[in-house]
Chain A
Amino acid sequence: MTTPTPAVAVDQSLLYPSPYKEFWQAFSKNKGAVAGLLFMLLVVFCALFAPWVAPHDPSEQFRDALLTPPSWLEGGQWQYLLGTDELGRDLLSRLIHGSRLSLLIGLSSVVMSLIPGILLGLLAGFFPRIMGPSIMRLMDVMLALPSLLLAVAIVAILGPGLINTVIAIAVVSLPSYVRLTRAAVMGELNRDYVTAARLAGASLPRLMFVTVLPNCMAPLIVQATLSFSSAILDAAALGFLGLGVQPPTPEWGTMLASARDYIERAWWVVSLPGLTILLSVLAINLMGDGLRDALDPKLKNAA
């Protein structure tokens, strides 16, 4: 009988990929998500460098080129790649400058609602008896109104314009973050690692922000992405109704409001701004889906 030789354990954890690499592997498998990401990078590029990328000034009116069709159609000119609108302004330039507005509105409204939303959600989750019910009731009341209507109401009060649009959209998105955070926090609070941290003497702020919050981020990130896309849609809707960004500012939705009268004569004035909205929102939603699939099923596939 041979004498046993003790085995040496190999540190097998070194063989597994890092979490960031694993995330990217999962995310990049989703071709739609990657396509969305690429499109958004294009939009961001346009937004950042609009004055240099756009062929013309968006408010410059070319009086002798009113309602020119896109360049590939009969009557179109290469100067105005996507045609011009009823005041002779180049559509492509307006769309490119419009991307600045949409991204700005999206980003600022998300940030403006994410931060208070997380805070309120944390408070509601950590103090379910003292602060929880009142916070959640308030959120329920806010959710009782469909988001567009609430936004419309807020803008009706504050008056139309860019800033008020951002405020309205931020207020309207708030409840979902609060609810999400609260639900995630309450789920995590029961876990052992939180109890362990408490026993180890963690202070309340530390518990909230260092221990619990990072583990709630996944659904919040996904929600933030989706909020971004609905912010763009809501801003466009408000613009279309005449309540949001006012003409002549080239916001995509506002452009559609004035285009209504030209359905029969100039379809491009109607189709193209809306198409841009569609593609941008689609891209963000694809990314959001990819994010969700990459972040979540790590838990689901753990078998």
Chain B
Amino acid sequence: MLSFIARRLGLLIPTFFGITLLTFALIRLIPGDPVEVMMGERRVDPEMHAQAMERLGLNKPLYAQYIDYVGKLAHGDLGESLRTRTSVWSEFKSLFPATLELSIAALIFAGVFGLLAGVIAALKRGSLFDHGVMGISLAGYSMPIFWWGLILIMFFSVSLGWTPVSGRIDLLYDIEPRTGFMLIDTLFSDDEGAWLDALRHLILPSIVLGTIPLAVIARMTRSSMLEVLREDYVRTARAKGLSPARVVFVHGLRNALIPVLTVFGLQTGTLLAGAVLTETIFSWPGIGKWLIEAIGARDYPVVQNGILLIACLVILVNFVVDILYGLANPRIRHQR
């Protein structure tokens, strides 16, 4: 088991360097004068320009610049936002919990309903329920989620007034950010109704964000179940006279969940992409919205290192999923 983890970690490192190379290259590709790009100003006077070149190390050869860049990263120096002049890292840290909370809520929504729907659809193959689930999930991942968000807002927030339109919590409440998770922090506050308010704000965005993963998980679970139910060992289990419930849940589901787990992990990527759009629609103060605003404002230090951080996040989650996969599937564990 340990060697498996070590091997997977070993694969992480070149990928990580690849990402840094990618983000480094991306910024260098921006058209225009690099000083102006990095400082966000136009027409810097020649003396300051030369000083800036010196300071930013832009007159060194490219590979030296790259080494500088990685060196800075190793020290945790991810530069400063051009707009707020605070460090990129601290901005990320403060905004990340919001995205995390939203993502976890979305995943729970997607996981619970997706698995349930998928298993039942597989068991009742060809029935109305099956077709319904398949149809809805197909629609689910065919739809532009920003539009879906707008529709839900139109319906639930504007017409029915059940949920708020934006933000994490009503401006009335002043919640101290202990963990950054609104659902936890509100428990500590004296204000009654704060927790409920936070929940109300969380519902719609997490449904919107979780819709695509829900659809994918439902489909994946269904097809995985159907495939597993066709396998020889399920036939053996039935030939052993085991009850249908046992055949399905003990023999079937256990193996069917394995590919679903991978999908679950891969959904993190979709989730982060979706977070960008969801946060924009709901004005949810997370890293997605932060990144988009930075791009629009040409805040390149944020763009560059924000992308780096998000990519590292995705790699990390995929790594954890890989490990979990190894735990679930004995065959992978014992390979080589």
Direct touching of A and B (C-beta under 8 Å): yes
Closest to A282 in B: B142
Closest to A273 in B: B147
Q: Decide if A236 is an interface residue (CB 8 Å cutoff).
A: yes
Q: Mark A188-231, 1 if CB is under 8 A from B, else 0.
A: 00000000000000000000000000000000000000000100
Chain A interfacial positions (CB closer than 8 Å to B): 137-138, 140-149, 152-154, 156-159, 229, 233, 236-237, 240-243, 253, 256, 259-260, 263-264, 267, 270-271, 273-274, 277-278, 281-282, 285-286, 289
- Complex Cα distance A140/B154, Å? 39
Question: Nearest Cβ distance between residue A167 and chain B, in whole angstroms?
Answer: 12
Given A141-B18, A152-B295, the answer on whether A240 and B146 have CB atoms closer than 8 Å is yes
Q: Mark B290-334, 1 if CB is under 8 A from A, else 0.
A: 011001100000010001001100110010000000000000000
Task: Please provide the chain B residues from 202 to 227 with a CB less than 8 Å away from any CB of chain A in the complex.
Answer: none
Contact assessment for A144 and B146 in the assembled complex, using a CB-CB cutoff below 8 Å: no
Contact assessment for B15 and A141 in the assembled complex, using a CB-CB cutoff below 8 Å: yes
Closest 5 CB pairs of A and B: A274-B147, A141-B18, A148-B273, A146-B269, A146-B273
Task: Please provide the chain B residues from 121 to 144 with a CB less than 8 Å away from any CB of chain A in the complex.
Answer: 138-139, 141-144
- Complex Cα distance A243/B292, Å? 9
Contact assessment for A149 and B272 in the assembled complex, using a CB-CB cutoff below 8 Å: yes
Contact assessment for B273 and A144 in the assembled complex, using a CB-CB cutoff below 8 Å: no
Q: Decide if B2 is an interface residue (CB 8 Å cutoff).
A: no
Residues of the A chain whose Cβ atoms lie less than 8 Å from the Cβ of B280: 241
- Complex Cα distance A156/B296, Å? 8
Question: Nearest Cβ distance between residue A238 and chain B, in whole angstroms?
Answer: 10
Residues of the B chain whose Cβ atoms lie less than 8 Å from the Cβ of A281: 142-144
- Complex Cα distance A147/B314, Å? 12
Residues of the B chain whose Cβ atoms lie less than 8 Å from the Cβ of A138: 18
Closest to A149 in B: B273
Question: Nearest Cβ distance between residue A146 and chain B, in whole angstroms?
Answer: 4
Contact assessment for B311 and A144 in the assembled complex, using a CB-CB cutoff below 8 Å: yes
Given A140-B15, A144-B315, the answer on whether A263 and B142 have CB atoms closer than 8 Å is no
Residues of the A chain whose Cβ atoms lie less than 8 Å from the Cβ of B269: 143, 145-147
Q: Decide if B150 is an interface residue (CB 8 Å cutoff).
A: yes
Question: Nearest Cβ distance between residue B203 and chain A, in whole angstroms?
Answer: 18
Closest to B30 in A: A157
Contact assessment for B315 and A278 in the assembled complex, using a CB-CB cutoff below 8 Å: no
Contact assessment for A145 and B307 in the assembled complex, using a CB-CB cutoff below 8 Å: yes
Contact assessment for B18 and A137 in the assembled complex, using a CB-CB cutoff below 8 Å: yes
Closest to B272 in A: A146
Contact assessment for A278 and B139 in the assembled complex, using a CB-CB cutoff below 8 Å: yes
- 24 example contacts (A-B, Cβ-Cβ < 8 A) are as follows A144-B314, A145-B19, A145-B22, A146-B269, A148-B276, A148-B277, A153-B307, A156-B295, A229-B142, A233-B144, A241-B276, A241-B292, A243-B295, A253-B146, A259-B150, A263-B150, A263-B153, A274-B143, A274-B151, A277-B143, A277-B144, A278-B142, A281-B144, A282-B139
Contact assessment for B314 and A146 in the assembled complex, using a CB-CB cutoff below 8 Å: yes
Q: Decide if B270 is an interface residue (CB 8 Å cutoff).
A: yes
Residues of the B chain whose Cβ atoms lie less than 8 Å from the Cβ of A141: 15, 18-19, 21-22
Interface of B is mostly: helix
Contact assessment for B144 and A152 in the assembled complex, using a CB-CB cutoff below 8 Å: no
Q: Decide if B158 is an interface residue (CB 8 Å cutoff).
A: yes
- Complex Cα distance A81/B203, Å? 36
- Complex Cα distance A71/B315, Å? 51
Question: Nearest Cβ distance between residue B72 and chain A, in whole angstroms?
Answer: 20
Question: Nearest Cβ distance between residue A16 and chain B, in whole angstroms?
Answer: 25
Closest to B288 in A: A149
Residues of the B chain whose Cβ atoms lie less than 8 Å from the Cβ of A241: 276-277, 280, 292
Closest to A256 in B: B147
Q: Decide if B74 is an interface residue (CB 8 Å cutoff).
A: no
Residues of the A chain whose Cβ atoms lie less than 8 Å from the Cβ of B281: 260
Residues of the A chain whose Cβ atoms lie less than 8 Å from the Cβ of B21: 141
Closest to B157 in A: A263
Q: Decide if B250 is an interface residue (CB 8 Å cutoff).
A: no
Q: Decide if B53 is an interface residue (CB 8 Å cutoff).
A: no
Contact assessment for A147 and B154 in the assembled complex, using a CB-CB cutoff below 8 Å: no
Question: Nearest Cβ distance between residue A176 and chain B, in whole angstroms?
Answer: 12
Residues of the A chain whose Cβ atoms lie less than 8 Å from the Cβ of B116: none
Contact assessment for A152 and B29 in the assembled complex, using a CB-CB cutoff below 8 Å: no
Q: Mark B252-291, 1 if CB is under 8 A from A, else 0.
A: 0000000000000000011111101100110000000001
Contact assessment for B138 and A282 in the assembled complex, using a CB-CB cutoff below 8 Å: yes
Q: Decide if B244 is an interface residue (CB 8 Å cutoff).
A: no
Q: Decide if B196 is an interface residue (CB 8 Å cutoff).
A: no
8 further A-B pairs in the complex, CB-CB below 8 A; given A145-B307, A145-B314, A274-B148: A142-B22, A144-B318, A145-B19, A152-B291, A153-B303, A237-B144, A237-B277, A274-B150
Q: Decide if B26 is an interface residue (CB 8 Å cutoff).
A: yes
Residues of the A chain whose Cβ atoms lie less than 8 Å from the Cβ of B146: 236-237, 240, 253, 256
Contact assessment for B143 and A270 in the assembled complex, using a CB-CB cutoff below 8 Å: no
Residues of the B chain whose Cβ atoms lie less than 8 Å from the Cβ of A243: 295
Contact assessment for A274 and B272 in the assembled complex, using a CB-CB cutoff below 8 Å: no
Residues of the A chain whose Cβ atoms lie less than 8 Å from the Cβ of B314: 144-146
Contact assessment for B158 and A152 in the assembled complex, using a CB-CB cutoff below 8 Å: no
Question: Out of B144, B271, B310, which one reaches A253, CB within 8 Å?
Answer: B144
Closest to B274 in A: A148
Given A263-B153, A278-B139, A282-B138, the answer on whether A144 and B158 have CB atoms closer than 8 Å is no
- Complex Cα distance A264/B22, Å? 43
Residues of the B chain whose Cβ atoms lie less than 8 Å from the Cβ of A267: 154
Residues of the B chain whose Cβ atoms lie less than 8 Å from the Cβ of A157: 26-27, 29-30
Closest to A259 in B: B150
Contact assessment for A137 and B14 in the assembled complex, using a CB-CB cutoff below 8 Å: yes
Task: Please provide the chain B residues from 149 to 195 with a CB less than 8 Å away from any CB of chain A in the complex.
Answer: 150-151, 153-154, 158
Closest to A279 in B: B142
Contact assessment for A149 and B158 in the assembled complex, using a CB-CB cutoff below 8 Å: no
Question: Out of B31, B144, B154, B273, which one reaches A278, CB within 8 Å?
Answer: B144
Residues of the A chain whose Cβ atoms lie less than 8 Å from the Cβ of B271: 146
